[in-house]
Amino acid sequence: MTETPSGDGAPVGPRDSTQVPRYAGQANFAHLPHLDEVGEADIAVVGIPFDTGVSFRPGARFGPTHVRDSSRLLRPYNPAQGVSPFGVQQVADAGDIVANPFDLDEALEQISAGASELLKRAGRVVTIGGDHTIAYPLLKTMYEKHGPVAVLHADAHLDTWDSYFGAPVTHGTPFRRASEAGFIDLTASAHLGIRGPLYGEHDLEEDERLGFEVTTTEFVEEHGVPAAVKRLRDRVGDRPVYVSIDIDVLDPAHAPGTGTPDAGGLTTREMLRIIRSLTDLNIVGADVVEVSPPYDHAQLTGIAAAHVVYELISAMAPRGS
């Protein structure tokens, strides 16, 4: 069962896994209570099981369930960040936002509306995708609440291309559409982990025009994680920042279960270390996307994604003055 409040307004924590086996019961993220059990939350974890926008391997619609199941081993104290992320803030699993798999335009509206409705009950939302198309309606919701936000986007790919097969909104175009719509801060947004072949040099020129600074995996390899962290922090500054992480930012050795893998990515350890450096930033929301269970092995990708979500929630946790 879920731990109950102490009566002094303390958050409702995750189920006690020393009393109930981790493999038993409903697989809410990290055994957290459902949002309906607590009413309101500081952070709501929500799934968006949607992959109509993919251009290669499908399966990310099964990502939320897979990541939740992969989160069963998470524990309530995070020693790397020195915080109990579920003890200092109310975190709850809000279930899934349903998006029409046959009508992309309707799905985008459903995602934006669902996220907006959820923000009436939660201060911030951390989303488990789903393919990267969902970032566009989520950024629309962020803009409606915060104005233009800095985007810290970790991915193998730019995702600022113009269209695929004439479709303007796909998992390869969300940040172009968000930039054109004015949802993002053009002076403070950044990519991390970009690598692999492009269609041409103009891709990078267009990307810069759309408001992004690129930190490649080659930069991380040559200069190290601390230099990459400084570059990212200098870029986003003190703006409200939305963190969007495509699991394919990791090398396929660490995250094989994804739709568009590219060799030469970050290690899981490097990615977690980078997230841990963001604790004093004004993170207003986040997503972790593109986990495709049919291509996963031994839950490697699901476990990596679950830990990324856990570190993001920990990074959002309040610290003492």
Neighbours of 273 (CB within 10 A): 17
Q: Which neighbouring-strand residues pair with 241? A: 150, 283
Residue 190 and residue 232 in contact, taking contact as beta carbons nearer than 8 Å: yes
Per-residue pLDDT of the chain (321 residues; tens, 9 = 90+): 344 444 457 899 998 887 887 888 788 999 999 999 999 999 999 999 999 999 999 999 999 999 999 999 999 999 999 999 999 999 999 999 999 999 999 999 999 999 999 999 999 999 999 999 999 999 999 999 999 999 999 999 999 999 988 999 999 999 999 999 999 999 999 999 999 999 999 999 999 999 999 999 999 999 999 999 999 999 999 999 999 999 999 999 999 999 999 999 999 999 999 999 999 999 999 999 999 999 999 999 999 999 999 999 999 999 875
Are 176 and 140 spatial neighbours (Cβ–Cβ below 8 Å)? no
What is the Cα–Cα distance from 168 to 112, expressed in whole angstroms? 17
Of the candidates 238, 234, 237, 256, the one whose C-alpha atom is nearest the C-alpha of residue 247 is 256
Residue type, 308: V
Query: Please, what's the largest Cα pairwise distance for the chain?
Result: 60
At CA 156, angle to CA 234 and CA 213, rounded to 5?
25
Domain ranges in the chain?
29-316
At the top level of CATH, the class of 29-316 is: alpha beta
**Residue in 216, 238, 228 with CA at minimum distance from that of residue 276:** 228
Predicted local distance difference test score (pLDDT) of residue 118: 98
